[in-house]
Structure 1
Amino acid sequence: MIEPELLRQLIAFRRERDWEQFHNPKDVAISLSIEASELLEWFQWKSAEEVQQRLASDKREDLEDEIADVAVYLFYLCHDLNIDLNQVIKHKMQKNAAKYPRDKVKGRNDKYDEYS
């Protein structure tokens, strides 16, 4: 999912600043949530049309920065917990396929326990 060299650069960036001491899994997870909230603010109170206008403006870079912040903390968390993100996504997709059978849910947005 992330290029190995880019992950090495992220880890080196953190190590060079001696930030690993602050990056325990709890605090990294908290930071991930905070950054995800900042990402949501980019969309808050905006219509679909306003979002499209912002995407075409210089505000797009702000969105890209927030997405990058979320990704960086996710990659730190996976690295620190020795979690292979590709593998856990594949495993979760298998669970989702069983939980949401295509023939029962196609075109529907019901919660999984609301369809029969």
Structure 2
Amino acid sequence: MAVALNIEAGELLEAFLWKNAEDADSAKVKEELADVIAYALLLADKYKFDVFEIVSEKIIENGKKYPVDKAKGTAKKYNEL
């Protein structure tokens, strides 16, 4: 499933290839995004992960690694802040 998820993510990226984000075909984005979400949810289900819980945990972790006062407005990685 992880391989399929990666392939679908690549297909999602194709919708933006050589375009500004606003020029991407929204129907294609919608279709590929649905595939990405479906595979991600199937993978979470296989491992019996609570999607809300793991996303919440990741948001908290990112908040610690990228505090707003240091990270806002920069693309630096957490170890460069």
> Same-fold call, TM > 0.5?
yes
> Normalising by structure 2, what TM-score?
0.90
When residues 99 and 61 of structure 1 are mapped into structure 2, their CA distance, relative to the original with a 3 A threshold, is: same
Percent of aligned pairs with the same amino acid = 38
Alignment of 1:21-100 (within 5 A): 28-46=1-19, 48=20, 51-54=21-24, 59-100=25-66
Alignment: residue pair count: 81
Where does the alignment leave 5 or more consecutive residues of structure 1 unmatched?
1-27
> Normalising by structure 1, what TM-score?
0.65
Where does the alignment leave 5 or more consecutive residues of structure 2 unmatched?
none
Q: Calculate the aligned-residue CA RMSD, in Å.
A: 1.2
Larger Rg: 1
Moved over 3 A (4+): none
Task: Tell me: higher relative CO, structure 1 or 2? Use CA pairs within 8 A at least 6 residues apart.
Answer: 1
